[in-house]
Amino acid sequence: EDVSGRAIEACTSAFERYPDIALLRTHGDCHPGNILWTEAHGPHFVDLDDARNAPAVQDLWMLLSGDRETTGVQLGHVIAGYEEFAEFDDRELTLVEPLRTLRLLHYSAWLARRWDDPAFPPAFPWFGSVHYWQERIGELREQIALMALPPLRPLRV
């Protein structure tokens, strides 16, 4: 409870820093697993049940993976591609780690809200175990530390 409270406070603080960041309709769960590619037609976005109004970076940060330098290079490419269609507000970069933190919290809440569904315990047998919660607490501690760092910056290659 203490760690999640501190994480939520850090997220709230990050969003309050720039209350005028524009919101637009986003996919909400834009990661490589939700992009299907066909040779004839290119990318197709699937799994639209998390669509929501959010800053543009909501649909960009989940495309990144790896250490800070690697994600900085990836971010440079993603933003360059994004800016072929629209201007990107660099202030949104302060929201990458808060958005990641909120995703971690929402995922556990999503599982907890559905735990009474008979399909969930067999599908997620690790949920609720001591190990599961120890890992979540560790992740939240890492996120609190990452939110205290300067935001990720795109590295142009």
Active-site residue set:
29, 47
Strands 52-54 and 42-45: unpaired
- Smallest Cα–Cα separation from 103: which of 152, 64, 153? 64
Tokens matching residue 100:
């990641």
Q: Contact, 145 vs 89, CB < 8 A?
A: no
Q: What is the CA radius of gyration of the chain?
A: 17
Q: Contact, 60 vs 30, CB < 8 A?
A: yes
